């Protein structure tokens, strides 16, 4: 199963416009944070063992226990656990839950890398179980940024990188610079697993929208250089089969929609002695578009 490298204690997580802000005084002390992550790691090891013995329901519960111990600003550790939960849910054929868990995993990784996201329609709750703002805590002495800030930071190559912009943009750029090469590789590895699991779940859910979303994930995966050979084969196979499946699902859903519209139309037209059968929809084979004609003789 996926593994997590403990995050540096006290490191400030990048902010996102639709995510909760974790001010310095709401964070656990380095010692408390390290202890919680150690407890979570122990619980995760138990969950991994349950997973390997195909006790998936128990594994999910154990992963949830591990998740409840992670400070809610430790996005990388949360992402790893969400990915593991998605894997167990896939093995349990709980496609919808697996898709949601994989989505949560990818959202956490975006925050780790400082990638801004569009505001979601619904907030994802319960990503981490421990809120330092509701427990006894000590400030880590962090300083809040100022708007229109301009800062210099040493890049990975030792050069000076100028950082400027609003608070959130500054923190996003700093977060990207602070990621070590090892952590970046870890993030890429977990991201590929999250994408694979979300794509698999969406594919199993079926339907026009889900299949199209799965195809997009597989296209993203096809461009990643860190995929194992087995996953590459899965991606290639999916990209060959999905276009046909998407078209079939599209035609089916369009047909069902037209049927519902016809029933609605008949209800409206009946008082006037008309029916939708008098209106013919003619598909243009070259463009795929439709035109309508009226046949007054049809009943």
pLDDT digits (tens, 9 = 90+) for 25-54: 478 999 999 999 999 999 999 999 999 999
In the predicted model, what is the mean pLDDT of residues 124-147?
A: 45
Euclidean distance between CA atoms 288 and 70, whole angstroms: 52
Interacting residues of 43 by C-beta distance below 8 A, sequence separation 6+: 62, 63, 65, 66, 69
* Confidence label for 139 from pLDDT (cuts 50, 70 and 90): very low
Residue written as token pair 């578009």 = 289
Span 173-216, pLDDT tens digits: 566 566 677 888 999 999 999 999 999 999 999 999 999 999 99
In the predicted model, what is the mean pLDDT of residues 15-19?
A: 46
Interacting residues of 105 by C-beta distance below 8 A, sequence separation 6+: 79, 80, 82, 83, 86, 190, 193, 194, 197
Q: In degrees rounded to 5, what are phi and psi of residue 151?
A: -135, 155
Does the pLDDT of residue 156 top 70, yes or no? no
Q: In degrees rounded to 5, what are phi and psi of residue 154?
A: -80, 125
Mean pLDDT over the full length of the chain:
78
Q: Could you give the percent of the chain with pLDDT greater than 70?
A: 65
* Confidence label for 284 from pLDDT (cuts 50, 70 and 90): confident
Euclidean distance between CA atoms 145 and 199, whole angstroms: 38
* Confidence label for 152 from pLDDT (cuts 50, 70 and 90): very low
Interacting residues of 48 by C-beta distance below 8 A, sequence separation 6+: 1, 59, 84
In the predicted model, what is the mean pLDDT of residues 137-151?
A: 38
Question: In this predicted structure, what is the pLDDT of residue 56?
Answer: 97
Query: Sign of dihedral through CA atoms 16, 17, 21, 23?
Result: positive
Question: In this predicted structure, what is the pLDDT of residue 51?
Answer: 97
Q: In degrees rounded to 5, what are phi and psi of residue 233?
A: -65, -40
Q: How far is CA 108 from CA 63, 76, 124, 128, 185, in A?
A: 16, 6, 11, 10, 15
In the predicted model, what is the mean pLDDT of residues 138-167?
A: 42
Of 103 and 260, more confident: 103
DSSP character string of the chain: ----PPPPTTPPPPP-TTS----GGGSPPHHHHHHHHHHHHHHHHHHHHHHHTT-HHHHHHHHHHHHHTSBTT-HHHHHHHHHHHHHHHHHTT-HHHHHHHHHHHHHHHHHHHT---PPPSSPPP-S-SB-GGGS-----------TTEEEEEE-TTS-EEEEEESHHHHHHHHHHHH--HHHHHHHHHHHHHHHHHHHHHHHHH-SHHHHHHHHHHHHHHHT-TT--HHHHHHHHHHHHHHHHHHHHHHHHHHHHHHHHHHHHHHHHHGGGT--GGGEEEEE-TTT--EEEEE-TT--
Of 147 and 272, more confident: 272
Of 224 and 184, more confident: 224
DSSP character string of 168-215: HHHHHHHHHHH--HHHHHHHHHHHHHHHHHHHHHHHHH-SHHHHHHHH
Question: In this predicted structure, what is the pLDDT of residue 271?
Answer: 77
Span 229-283, pLDDT tens digits: 999 999 999 999 999 999 999 998 887 877 777 677 777 767 766 766 776 777 7
Q: Could you give the percent of the chain with pLDDT greater than 90?
A: 51
Euclidean distance between CA atoms 257 and 149, whole angstroms: 53
Instruction: List the one residue out of 17, 5, 28 whose CA is nearest residue 128.
Output: 28
Question: In this predicted structure, what is the pLDDT of residue 6?
Answer: 46
* Confidence label for 121 from pLDDT (cuts 50, 70 and 90): very low
């Amino acid at each position: 199963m996926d593994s997590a490298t403990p995050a540096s204690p006290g490191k400030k997580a990048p902010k996102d416009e639709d995510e909760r802000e974790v001010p310095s005084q709401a964070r656990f002390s380095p010692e408390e944070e390290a202890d919680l992550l150690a407890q979570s790691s122990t619980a995760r090891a138990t969950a991994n063992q349950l997973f390997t013995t195909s006790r998936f329901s128990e594994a999910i519960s154990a992963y949830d226990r591990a998740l409840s111990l992670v400070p809610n600003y430790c996005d990388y550790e949360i992402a790893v656990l969400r990915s593991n939960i998605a894997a167990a849910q896939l093995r349990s054929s709980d496609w919808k839950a697996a898709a949601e868990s994989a989505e949560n995993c990818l959202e956490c990784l975006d925050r780790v890398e400082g990638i801004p996201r569009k505001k979601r329609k619904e907030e994802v709750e319960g990503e981490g179980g421990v809120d330092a703002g509701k427990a006894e805590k000590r400030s880590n002495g962090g300083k809040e940024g100022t708007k229109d800030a301009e800062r210099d930071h040493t890049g990975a190559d030792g050069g000076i990188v100028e950082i400027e912009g609003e608070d959130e943009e500054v923190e996003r750029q700093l977060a990207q610079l602070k990621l070590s090469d090892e952590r970046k590789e870890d993030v890429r590895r977990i991201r590929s697993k999250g994408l694979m699991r979300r794509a698999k779940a969406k594919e199993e859910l079926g339907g026009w929208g889900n299949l199209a979303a799965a195809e997009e994930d597989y296209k993203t995966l096809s461009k990643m250089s860190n995929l194992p050979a087995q996953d590459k084969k899965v991606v290639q196979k999916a990209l060959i089969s999905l276009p046909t499946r998407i078209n079939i699902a599209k035609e089916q859903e369009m047909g069902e929609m037209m049927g519902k519209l016809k029933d609605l139309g008949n209800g409206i037209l009946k008082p006037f002695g008309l029916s939708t059968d008098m209106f013919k929809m003619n598909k243009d084979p070259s463009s795929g578009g439709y035109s309508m004609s009226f046949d007054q003789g049809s009943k």
